Amino acid sequence: MTSISRCVQKWSVFVGFFLVAITSWAKEGDQLHSYQQALKIVQDALENHGGIERLRESGVTIELQGTFDLAARFQGRSASKPEPTPIKEWIAMDLVGNNLAYDIDWFNYFSSNQKLREIYDSEGRLLFLDHRTKVGGYLPRETVVDAQLRLARVLPNLLLADALKQRKSLRNIGESREKHRSFHRVSYSTTAGNVLTLWIDKRYDLLSKASAIIDMPLLGDAQIEWYWDEYNSSEDLRLPNRYQVYLSGTLMKNVAMSVGLGTKAEDFLPPDDYSVFPPPESLSPLSDYIPYGAREPVVDTLSAGVYMVRDLRSGFRLLFVEFEEFALAVDAPSGWYEMQQIPPMNWSYGDGTSDLGEKYLRAIKATIPDKPLKYLVLTHHHSDHIGGLRPFLSKNVEILAGENAAKLARQASKASHSLDASDNYGSDHKPNITIVKGLQIIKDRTMAVQLIELPDGNPKADNYLMVYLPKQKLLYSTAFIYPVPESAFPPPESINLSVYFVQWLDRSGLDVEQIYNVHAGGLVEEWQLEKLRHLATEL
């Protein structure tokens, strides 16, 4: 190599390093500029909303009342028709003592009215109370990161304050225009690592909207949007009177919002006449928590060739059946998002959309290693029962489902799940679906399974499929009767469902000796059926 060549090579290396450095400095400069812009936007908006110190000194109480559309989150009787149901919420926050109480009175699906309270205390404990049974108990482990804030962010003032607290993650992502209004758009990362985008009205300097992307069962990467409107002024406070939530462009929640100052000590304590199990001596650290999808499945044998995966996730027991040359499974569950929070929390914490389906498949394979899974029965279209469908599609199983579940299964097969690192199935698996109408029988020399469609208008879901094994005289019903201990049976929200089931069973003519339910204890006992029959005569 000549001296000139060596010189040129050295200068090329130097110029390369120089250009990389310049590019890096430019990027850092852009990030700094974006951060500074975002910081000023949020500071100005928070000052305009006002009252943070007053909220801190007095505490704050929020009341929300309106409607929640069950169909928007795939928990209604139909997979598509809007099904707005009443919802009432109440939030009390002691910002100094770090206490929060949350009440909800709503329908988590048709004919299932819940009246619950959650109390988060300064020690990080979460107490659940049921207002109908007046019974409560503590969660034995730490809650997810920033659990209280997911409810507190419902108030724009506190959402902006949280963004300012996480100021290092603030970024200005440009202006936007919607419906003849101009907005600043700012993003930030919460303590838990969720990215929220804030839309601040340029004219009024008020938070108009926040948005995030969540990995929603059936929908995949879905945008959820929270809107605040009809602001009023009260001294140094700007507070909204209207709050709406959209999921993938569909209005899911529409409520009036009322904000007041002040809380009472009893807001954060269970009422005197409630029976509350004592709190655990210590909470299991969140860092030690093992997601359900990562746990080893436990399989119970109900009878020869009939199996149940116990606690696939909390409160889920799934049935699968062995035939002479293949296997059949029932339902494809997923986690449950708490849609009242910002952002929503998955109660199957740490699990992606496909993790529970994968665990289910592992259990079937370990139990019946030499026979392929040929059929997957989807009993109904609710997202927690079919949201974990994608791993089954990769096995090319035939799906047996009613019309509603079939429709959503096709939708789920096309969904993108880029937010879920565990989901690597793509969207190229076209589902093989057979729609069940009335009665369908799958049988061979060793086993028979009947799929019985319930009439539309039943209190659970249209096109619902009961699963009956005539040889074993076994009926599998996913979510009609909740077999809990006698002191709590039947749970108030399940009474209409359970009474309907018993009346249907007595008319069906089926020879049934065993009944299993996906939720609670699994096995339904005779005394529970008799109690429901007696209850039916009183309704």
Residues 166-184 pLDDT 10s = 999 999 999 998 878 999 9
pLDDT in tens, 132-146: 999 999 999 998 889
pLDDT in tens, 208-261: 999 999 999 999 999 999 999 999 988 789 999 999 999 999 999 999 999 999
10 Å CB burial of residue 366 (0-12, 13-18, 19+) is: exposed
Determine how β-strand 465-469 pairs with β-strand 514-517. Answer: unpaired
Neighbours of 26 (CB within 10 A): 10
- In the chain, % of residues over pLDDT 90: 74
- State the residue for tokens 């002691």: 94
pLDDT in tens, 87-111: 999 999 999 999 999 999 999 888 8
pLDDT of residue 111: 84
> Which position has the higher pLDDT, 424 or 503?
503
Non-local CB neighbours of 493 within 8 Å, separated by 6+ positions: 108, 112, 113, 114, 132
Q: Categorize the per-residue pLDDT at 413 as very low, low, confident or very high, splitting at 50, 70 and 90.
A: confident
pLDDT of residue 139: 93
Contact assessment for residue 465 and residue 379, using Cβ atoms and an 8 Å cutoff: yes
For the CA atoms of 288, 291, 296, 301, what is the dihedral angle to 10 degrees? Answer: 130
pLDDT of residue 538: 80
> Which position has the higher pLDDT, 150 or 430?
150
pLDDT of residue 20: 47
Non-local CB neighbours of 278 within 8 Å, separated by 6+ positions: 138
Non-local CB neighbours of 286 within 8 Å, separated by 6+ positions: 141, 142, 143, 144, 145
- DSSP alpha helices (H): ranges in 166-239? none
Q: Is the pLDDT of residue 14 over 60?
A: no
Contact assessment for residue 339 and residue 352, using Cβ atoms and an 8 Å cutoff: no
Q: Categorize the per-residue pLDDT at 51 as very low, low, confident or very high, splitting at 50, 70 and 90.
A: confident
Query: CA-to-CA distance for 290 and 44, rounded, in angstroms?
Result: 42
For 386, list phi and psi in degrees, rounded to 5: -130, 5
Query: CA-to-CA distance for 533 and 59, rounded, in angstroms?
Result: 48
pLDDT of residue 485: 87
State the pTM of this model.
Answer: 0.91
Contact assessment for residue 172 and residue 186, using Cβ atoms and an 8 Å cutoff: yes
pLDDT of residue 7: 56
- DSSP alpha helices (H): ranges in 389-478? 390-393, 403-413
Helix (H) or strand (E) holding 466: strand 465-469
Cis bond upstream, residue 490 (ω within 30): yes
Q: Is the pLDDT of residue 535 over 60?
A: yes
* Residue 380 CA from chain centroid, whole number: 17
User: How much is the average pLDDT of 133-161?
Assistant: 94
Please, what is the average pLDDT of the chain? 91
Q: Categorize the per-residue pLDDT at 49 as very low, low, confident or very high, splitting at 50, 70 and 90.
A: very high
Query: CA-to-CA distance for 384 and 396, rounded, in angstroms?
Result: 21
SS3 category, 450: strand
> Which position has the higher pLDDT, 486 or 101?
101
pLDDT in tens, 261-306: 999 999 999 999 999 999 999 999 999 999 999 999 999 999 999 9
pLDDT in tens, 344-367: 998 888 898 899 999 999 999 999
Q: Categorize the per-residue pLDDT at 456 as very low, low, confident or very high, splitting at 50, 70 and 90.
A: confident
pLDDT in tens, 107-128: 988 888 999 999 999 988 999 9
Q: Categorize the per-residue pLDDT at 487 as very low, low, confident or very high, splitting at 50, 70 and 90.
A: confident
Neighbours of 188 (CB within 10 A): 23
> Which position has the higher pLDDT, 257 or 485?
257
As a three-state string, the secondary structure of 476-505 is EECCCCCCCCHHHCCCHHHHHHHHHHHHHH
Q: Categorize the per-residue pLDDT at 3 as very low, low, confident or very high, splitting at 50, 70 and 90.
A: low
* Residue 506 CA from chain centroid, whole number: 35
Number of residues that this document lists for the chain: 539
